[in-house]
Amino acid sequence: MKIARRIDRLDQELIEGRVLDRDNPSQRLSLEVLAGFSVLGRCTADLFRKDLSEAGIGDGHCAFSLKLAPFLAQQQIAQIRLKLHESDVFFIPSTPTLAGAEGTKTDVCQDVHCEVESCGCDTTRNASSGQMLDRR
């Protein structure tokens, strides 16, 4: 499994981005959105985006969008991570978006048991150990 992924937006209203298995790009991946150990929601990365299709990122049907509960505190937003459904693969958004810097886009960082292809992110975090690794 070779995962390509990116978070395009993460704030108190919405989390959206893209994720696909480069080895099987027609497979639609299911995600769980967690804050700490609480599941906030589930979605499938199957939304079409023309820009992804034109860039050759799968068939373009690999985007996701999940509206977050309006009562989430900023502290809970800072704990958000994504998990491939029924797996132990976690993606952890990096700090700039969590801080709420306007206009920032961030890659999702990390994997546990698969080869994860980066979309330009410089930091990887091992979800089991929490260790940060600089890939620059």
Predicted local distance difference test score (pLDDT) of residue 21: 94
Distances in whole angstroms, Cα of residue 60 to Cα of each of 23, 90, 91, 124: 15, 22, 20, 25
The total number of structural domains in the chain stands at 1
Domain housing 104: 2-134
CA of residue 17 relative to chain centroid, distance:
6
Question: Which are the contacts of 101, defined by CB distance < 8 A and separation ≥ 6?
Answer: none
Residue 72 pLDDT: 85
The pLDDT value recorded for residue 70 is: 84
Contact assessment for residue 41 and residue 66, using Cβ atoms and an 8 Å cutoff: yes
Cα(117)–Cα(135) distance, integer angstroms? 12
3-state secondary structure of 98: helix
Helices (H), 34-108: 50-54, 74-78, 95-98
What is the full per-residue pLDDT of the chain (136 aa) written as tens digits?
Answer: 889 889 999 988 999 999 999 999 999 999 999 998 889 999 999 999 999 999 999 999 999 999 998 888 888 888 899 999 988 888 887 543 333 334 433 333 333 333 344 433 333 333 444 433 333 3
pTM over 0.75: no
Q: Report d(CA 64, CA 74) in Å as an integer.
A: 22
